[in-house]
């Protein structure tokens, strides 16, 4: 009872007691909730640990047997340990795990599965392993295939039981998690109920407070209002209360009496209040003046807001500057103004004439603008109004100009000049306008950043457009972010590349798939992007073909990351049409070469065998030898084509350029080809006095042999073949025209590619390697010429070559005189191959030379020292210790021999070394003997035995 009185005697203690009861109840409830929550969590952790331990044991047992047992349709393959020690270790380890598992199992199903596993384990180590060990001792094979149905049944049952136990444990995992979730939901429900009870308790506490405190206070308030209104009020007697309200009730009654006593005093003061009312009326006028000021400021703020909205809405610099000056003139109540960037040709004006603009722009580097850029602070200038600014006013007046700097990183980027007629700019206004200038500077910097970003974007786009591959950048949702012109060119559309931006995956993938042969394109592309995301370091790609132009495209992708965050994917579409076609041409080339090589080889071997094994008539022998010779030349030409292509590709093709007459070369080629062209009539016309060029005679001859043989070969039914030499002062032009099969129009662009052959059955029967025209083009280019073709399919073709023409004067008398001098020349042939030496000896003697033949290099040097020859034909690889290189070095070191021209005749392709040691010419076997005699003759007659060394270009 004393405790109750203690709390009732004070409102604060009473409220404190109620709140203490409330918080005590709240704390107990929260404690119970946390206790149950912790208990549920501990039970879950314990159950999960138990399940995981069982999983670990059963997975170990399952993996041990699963790796050694393979169940097949009608047998079981078992792989046991190779020795008894491993078997015992495995058995003890598995039994230990089974013992631990037996301590953990709880349900009847787990006990049954455990018994099956234990039974199979006992059967495996007691029965199967000894059987396998016996088999191992017989054939050293640790594995065995058993077809016993009982073994198959037990093994299959064991693996199924072990697998089902694993699945059972996975289910227990799931049930345990679900149980935890369910219990947590119950806890949440308890929390809700608890808070509802808390709210109910709080309601009753508040209700008690309102009843014991609020109601008496309300009654006191009502009584006080009644008394304040001058009416009689009923005073509630609360004097029996022992708390503050009882004390307040007593004090209130005393106060009422005191108020009534002082009411008269208030009447006296009423007159004073009337006087104060008049004073308030005066203050009202002042407030109205302040209100007008506030209204004016509000209008200014609205105009500033309009300025901010206008400059933030546009990123176009001209519109931005125009908006700034117009709004600044309105805000500052200026009559005219101008804004100009200092480092760009951008400006805007308001109320300023064109003459004024030009005058301002021309004087920006001096005067007031120079002061503004130095001080970096706004200032005003007072001046007399110009007559043009007065309009119809006749009175004298002043104009005030305000110069405002637009600063960016302590540098004046732009200036604003405002003019006001008859009214100056106050300091407060200047400060306010300076603040606006700073805000303008921020937006100006924003526009500069936008322009830079746009410039970078255009630069990036231009860079992408220069890439040969089609580039496509997509975001994480596979929407297109950026493409280049090459991709747009691959997938030709009626819109522009910019309209492909932001196309979703479904749209752009369908657009591409509609132009592609592969029906699985979308799925392949989807798999490619997914695999790139899963394995970003592994390069993957796939190939697709276009339906319209048969383009072959390889597409691969790369993941784009920013700070290890996936931001997009880059798809690269690489046109491999040319590589694809070259690969096909190479494949066809291999089969063609196989045929082209085997056919002449078969002839050579066959006729050679006949010559060796049978007695033949002389005329038949001659015929066979001629056939062998022709087929050998055919093989030589084919091999030379391969070597030429290899040298041209590696950039090692050398040309021995001299002044040559194309008309004589073409005549020789015609004479050679007429032998094998009985069905064709070859006509030849020369429209130039001379057709001399600087070139390699052998290579130029190869060009026209190829062109003329093609004209014959691709005119299988015969016809006319015309060769025309014409040109101008600077050029020699040769046309080779036939009336043969002609060339399809779509094949002409690829005609000079390596391995390319027109895909036509008529041409397939004719044969060829596809190298000839490629070699022709390379040779012509190597002579700074060009070759072109025109053709009408089915009616024939015309190949036209252009060479630079050289004008030379000829002296017939000197030629006749030099021809008579050949009989006085002695040629030394140093060759260890007797057959070739005899052939060269015969050719040179028939050409009018005296010939000295030597097999040994040492012997040749001794003979030279005794009697120096006029020229030396030298083989590099000789039988004795003195080789061709040594002979050349000795000759160049000997005063008597150093000027003798040396003609190398060898199978080694080391022209650079030969020319560096002083060779005049370098012939690679096999070559025509007549070629050697012509070179020697030309050299000796040209140099008149002066020994000069001439290195071909």
End-to-end Cα separation, the chain, in angstroms: 132
How confident is residue 147, by pLDDT bands cut at 50, 70 and 90?
low
* pLDDT for residue 279: 84
Q: In this structure, are residues 811 and 876 in contact, taking their beta carbons and an 8 Å threshold?
A: no
Tell me the average pLDDT across 367-377.
84
Q: What is the pLDDT of residue 810?
A: 43
* CA 831 to the chain's CA centroid: 61
Q: What is the pLDDT of residues 417-462, one digit of tens each?
A: 999 988 888 888 888 888 888 888 888 888 888 878 878 878 887 7
Residue for token pair 């494949």: 587
Bridge partners for 727 per DSSP? 732
Closest CA to 684 of 675, 671, 698: 671
Task: Return all residues near 280 (Cβ < 8 A) that are at least 6 apart.
Answer: none
pTM here is 0.38
Question: What is residue 803's predicted lDDT score, i.e. its pLDDT?
Answer: 94
Q: What is the mean pLDDT of residues 905-923?
A: 87
Q: What is the mean pLDDT of residues 598-607?
A: 80
Which pLDDT score, from 0 to 100, does residue 736 have? 94
pLDDT over 60 at 659, yes or no: yes
Express each pLDDT in 501-526 by its tens digit. Answer: 888 888 888 888 888 888 888 898 88
Residue 642 binned pLDDT confidence (cut-offs 50, 70, 90): confident
Q: Which has more pLDDT, 549 or 528?
A: 528
Angle at 455 between CA 453 and CA 457, to 5 degrees: 65
Least confident of 129-133, 312-316, 405-409, 714-718: 312-316
pLDDT of residue 819: 45
Q: How confident is the model at residue 118 (pLDDT cuts 50, 70, 90)?
A: confident
pLDDT more than 70, % of the chain: 82
**420: β partners:** 400
Contact 248, 16 (CB under 8 A): no
Q: Averaged over 906-920, what is the pLDDT? A: 87
Q: Lowest mean pLDDT of 209-213, 373-377, 491-495, name the range.
A: 491-495
Q: Please give the pLDDT value at position 590.
A: 66
* The pLDDT of residue 732: 93
Q: Which of 406-420, 738-752, 806-820, 916-930 is the least confident region? A: 806-820
pLDDT digits (tens, 9 = 90+) for 207-248: 877 777 777 777 777 777 777 766 666 656 666 666 666 677
Please report the pLDDT score of residue 945 as a whole number: 42
**pLDDT confidence of residue 81:** 56
Buried b (16+ CB within 10 A) or exposed e, 382-398: eeebeeebeeeeeeeee
Question: What confidence tier does 800 reach under pLDDT thresholds 50, 70, 90?
Answer: very high
pLDDT, tens digit (0-9, with 9 covering 90-100), for 767-793: 566 678 888 888 899 888 999 999 988
Q: Which of 811, 871, 885 is nearest to 840 (CA)?
A: 871
pLDDT value for 817: 46
List the single range of 154-158, 385-389, 720-724 with lowest mean pLDDT.
154-158
Q: What are the structural domains of the chain? A: 11-210 (1.20.120), 314-453 (3.30.450.40), 467-575 (3.30.450.20), 654-804 (3.30.565.10), 818-943 (3.40.50.2300)
Between 640 and 724, the higher pLDDT residue: 724
Instruction: Give the residue, 536 or 726, on which the prediction is more confident.
Output: 726
Which pLDDT band, with edges at 50, 70 and 90, does 948 fall under?
Answer: very low
CA–CA dist 414, 340 (Å, integer): 6
pLDDT recorded at residue 785: 92
Residue 184, judged by CB atoms within 10 A of its CB (0-12, 13-18, 19+), counts as: middle
Strands (E), 445-563: 470-474, 480-483, 541-545, 552-562
Phi and psi at residue 535, to the nearest 5°: -130, 80
Percent of the chain with pLDDT over 90: 8
pLDDT for residue 766 is more than 80: no
Residue pLDDT, tens place only, 73-89: 444 555 555 556 666 77
pLDDT at 144 over 50: yes
Asked whether residue 133 carries a pLDDT value surpassing 90, the answer given is no
Mean pLDDT for all residues in the chain: 79
- Closest Cα to residue 917, out of 904, 931, 933? 904
Look at residue 764 in the predicted model and tell me its pLDDT: 52
Please list the helix, strand and coil fractions of the chain in percent, rounded to the nearest 5, in that order.
60, 15, 25
Question: 951 pLDDT band (50/70/90 cuts)?
Answer: very low
């Amino acid at each position: 009872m004393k405790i109750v009185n203690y709390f009732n005697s004070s409102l604060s203690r009473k409220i404190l007691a109620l709140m203490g009861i409330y918080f005590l109840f709240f704390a107990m409830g929260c404690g119970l909730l946390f206790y149950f929550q912790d208990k549920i969590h501990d039970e879950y952790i314990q159950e999960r640990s138990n399940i995981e331990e069982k999983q670990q044991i059963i997975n170990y047992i399952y993996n041990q047997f699963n790796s050694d047992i393979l169940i097949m349709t009608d047998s079981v393959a078992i792989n046991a340990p190779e020795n008894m020690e491993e078997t015992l270790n495995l058995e003890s380890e598995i039994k230990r795990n089974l013992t631990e598992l037996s301590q953990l199992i709880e349900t009847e199903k787990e006990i049954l599965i455990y018994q099956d596993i234990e039974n199979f384990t006992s059967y495996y180590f007691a029965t199967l392993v000894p059987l396998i060990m016996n088999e191992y001792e017989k054939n050293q094979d640790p594995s065995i295939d058993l077809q016993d149905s009982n073994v198959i049944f037990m093994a299959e049952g064991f693996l199924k039981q072990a697998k089902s136990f694993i699945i059972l444990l996975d289910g227990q995992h799931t049930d345990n998690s679900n149980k935890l979730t369910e219990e947590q939901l119950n806890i949440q429900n308890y929390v809700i109920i608890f808070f509802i009870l808390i709210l109910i308790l709080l309601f009753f506490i508040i209700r008690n407070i309102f009843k014991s405190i609020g109601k008496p206070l309300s009654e006191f308030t009502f009584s006080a209002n009644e008394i304040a209104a001058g009416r009689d009020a009923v005073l509630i007697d609360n004097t029996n209360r022992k708390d503050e309200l009882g004390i307040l009730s007593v004090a209130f009654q005393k106060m009422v009496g005191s108020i009534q006593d002082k009411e008269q005093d208030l009447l006296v003061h009423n007159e004073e209040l009337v006087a104060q009312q008049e004073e308030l009326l005066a203050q009202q006028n002042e407030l109205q003046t302040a209100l007008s000021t506030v209204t004016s400021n509000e209008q200014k703020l609205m105009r500033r807001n309009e300025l901010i909205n206008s400059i933030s809405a546009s990123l176009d610099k001209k519109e931005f500057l125009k908006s700034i000056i117009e709004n600044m003139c309105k805000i500052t109540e200026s009559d005219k103004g101008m804004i100009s960037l200092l480092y760009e040709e951008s400006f805007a004006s308001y109320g300023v004439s064109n003459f004024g603009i030009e005058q301002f722009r021309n004087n920006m580097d001096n005067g007031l603008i120079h002061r503004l850029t130095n001080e970096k602070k706004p200032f005003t200038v007072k001046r007399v109004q110009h007559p043009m600014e007065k309009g119809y006013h006749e009175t004298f007046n002043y104009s005030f100009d305000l110069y405002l700097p637009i600063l960016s990183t302590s540098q004046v980027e732009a200036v604003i000049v405002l003019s006001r007629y008859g009214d100056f700019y106050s300091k407060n206004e200047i400060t306010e306008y300076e603040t606006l200038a700073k805000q303008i500077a921020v937006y100006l910097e924003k526009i500069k950043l936008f322009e830079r970003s746009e410039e970078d974007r255009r630069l990036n786009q231009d860079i992408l457009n220069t890439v040969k591959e089609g580039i496509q950048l997509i975001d994480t949702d596979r929407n297109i972010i950026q493409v280049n012109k090459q991709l747009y060119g691959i997938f030709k559309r009626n819109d522009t590349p910019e309209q492909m931006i932001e196309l979703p995956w479904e749209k752009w993938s369908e657009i591409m798939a509609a132009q592609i042969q592969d029906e699985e394109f979308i799925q392949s592309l989807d798999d490619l992007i997914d695999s790139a995301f899963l394995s970003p370091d592994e390069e993957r790609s796939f190939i697709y073909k276009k339906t319209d132009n048969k383009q072959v495209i390889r597409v691969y992708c790369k993941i784009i990351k920013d700070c290890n965050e996936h931001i997009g994917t880059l798809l690269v579409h690489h046109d491999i049409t040319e590589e694809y076609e070259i690969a096909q041409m190479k494949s066809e080339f291999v089969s063609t070469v196989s045929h082209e090589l085997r056919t002449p080889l078969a002839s050579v071997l066959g006729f050679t065998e006949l010559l060796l094994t049978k007695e033949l008539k002389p005329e038949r022998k001659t015929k066979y030898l001629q056939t062998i010779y022709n087929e050998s030349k055919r093989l030589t030409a084919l091999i030379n084509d391969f070597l030429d292509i290899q040298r041209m590709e590696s950039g090692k093709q050398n040309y021995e350029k001299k002044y040559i007459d194309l008309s004589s070369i073409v005549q020789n080629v015609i004479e050679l080809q007429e032998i094998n062209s009985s069905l064709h009539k070859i006509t030849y016309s020369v429209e130039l006095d001379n057709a001399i060029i600087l070139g390699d005679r052998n290579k130029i001859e190869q060009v026209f042999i190829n062109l003329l043989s093609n004209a014959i070969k691709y005119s299988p039914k015969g016809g006319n073949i015309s060769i025309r030499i014409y040109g101008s002062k600077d050029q020699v032009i040769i046309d080779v025209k036939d009336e043969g099969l002609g060339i399809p129009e779509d094949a002409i662009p690829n005609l000079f590619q390596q391995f390319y052959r027109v895909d036509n059955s008529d041409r397939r029967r004719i044969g060829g390697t596809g190298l000839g025209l490629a070699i022709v083009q390379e040779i012509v280019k190597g002579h700074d010429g060009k070759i072109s073709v025109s053709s009408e399919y089915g009616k024939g073709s015309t190949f036209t070559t252009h060479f630079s023409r050289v004008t030379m004067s000829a002296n017939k008398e000197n030629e006749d005189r030099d021809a008579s001098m050949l009989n006085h020349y002695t040629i030394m042939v140093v060759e260890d191959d007797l057959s070739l030496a005899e052939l060269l000896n015969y050719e040179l003697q028939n050409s009018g030379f005296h010939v000295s033949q030597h097999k040994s290099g040492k012997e040749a040097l001794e003979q030279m020292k005794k009697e120096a020859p006029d020229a030396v034909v030298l083989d590099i690889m000789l039988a004795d210790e003195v080789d061709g290189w040594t002979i050349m070095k000795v000759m160049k070191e000997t005063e008597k021999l150093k000027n003798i021209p040396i003609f190398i005749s060898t199978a080694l392709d080391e022209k650079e070394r030969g020319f560096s040691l002083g060779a005049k010419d370098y012939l690679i076997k096999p070559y025509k003997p007549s070629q050697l005699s012509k070179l020697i003759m030309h050299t000796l007659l040209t140099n008149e035995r002066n020994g000069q060394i001439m290195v071909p270009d």
